[in-house]
Amino acid sequence: MRFGFVGDIVGKVGRGQVARYVKEAKQNYNLDFVVANGENASHGFGLGLKSIQELQDSGVDIFTGGNHTWDKREIVAFLGIENSNVLRPHNYPQGVVGSGLYRGAINNERFAVVNLMGHFGMPQCDNAFICANATIDALQNEGIKNIIVDFHAEATSEKRAMFMMLKGKIAAIFGTHTHIGTDDLEIFDGTFGVSDVGMSGARESVIGMECKEPIERFLTGIPSRLSVPESSGIPTLFQMIVCEICDGKCVEAFKLKAVDNGELEKTLVAK
Ligand SMILES: [Fe+2]
């Protein structure tokens, strides 16, 4: 099976990029499904009902989340659905609504998407590494080999450690949350990994947000409200990683990128 993974979608500009490119990528690269991190899709904070519908219409099949999952409380209705395609990190404590695990099938071949959240600079949650091992063991016992992980974490060391711990056991692990795409696309023991897929949204920004407020924050130390640039005709960025997996292993992976609404280009290939 072949799928696409879109990193953090930031606000209306990011949703516009998904609308512009995801269906095209699905068609041109024969993608069976697309996973996207949606926790910043609604004005930069959370994933609301209208954004879920809009992004599904644009071709996103499965949504992952992270520390901003709870910013739009209407998401709870989606999280509560059995085998929901809207995930929250799986390592929230037992009893928290929703799940970080989605099970699907393409041509009778089963796959699973697991969403985990790291620890450095993140809200308190259960140990992501212990949760990853337990969840993957359980999926393998069910006979599911094609396992895809979104590890939503701040520190590259945490992301790297998770990749090295899971290599050989899963098909792919995608880092999200830091919004800056890294060039370390690699395949080890049949497992694809990247520290961060990178965001889709406004390019002349600070991780998708209007520059003025974050710069002011760094100059003065005074907190201020962040906002997503809303104007049309601004510099934009779309980033997606395409992965081909077969019998639980990644056989090919590469990055697709489009700048300022230009052509979708293949920019990096995993080695
Ligand atoms: Fe995040």
Between the CA of 216 and the centroid of ligand 1 the distance, in Å, is 21
Helix (H, G, I), strand (E, B) or coil at 27: helix
Residue 91 to residue 135: CA distance in whole angstroms: 10
- Mean pLDDT computed over every residue of the chain: 97
Q: How remote is the CA of residue 226 from the centroid of ligand 1, in Å?
A: 14
Could you tell me the distance, in angstroms and rounded to a whole number, from the CA of residue 123 to the centre of ligand 1?
A: 10
Q: Residue 94: is it exposed, middle or buried by C-beta count within 10 angstroms (0-12/13-18/19+)?
A: exposed
Query: How far is 102 from 39, CA to CA, in rounded Å?
Result: 17
Residues contacting residue 126 through CB under 8 Å, at least 6 positions apart: 91, 92, 93
pLDDT surpasses 90 at 232: no
> Residue 231 above 80 pLDDT?
no
CA of 44 to the centre of ligand 1 (A): 10
**What's the CA-to-centroid distance between 45 and ligand 1, angstroms?**
9
Q: Residues near 209 by Cβ (< 8 Å), separated by ≥ 6?
A: 10, 44, 202, 226, 227, 228, 229
Q: What is the set of active-site residues? A: 68
Which residues sit opposite 60 in a β-bridge?
none
- pLDDT tens-digit readout, 206-228: 999 999 999 999 999 999 899 99
Q: pLDDT of 9-47, one tens digit each? A: 999 999 999 999 999 999 999 999 999 999 999 999 999
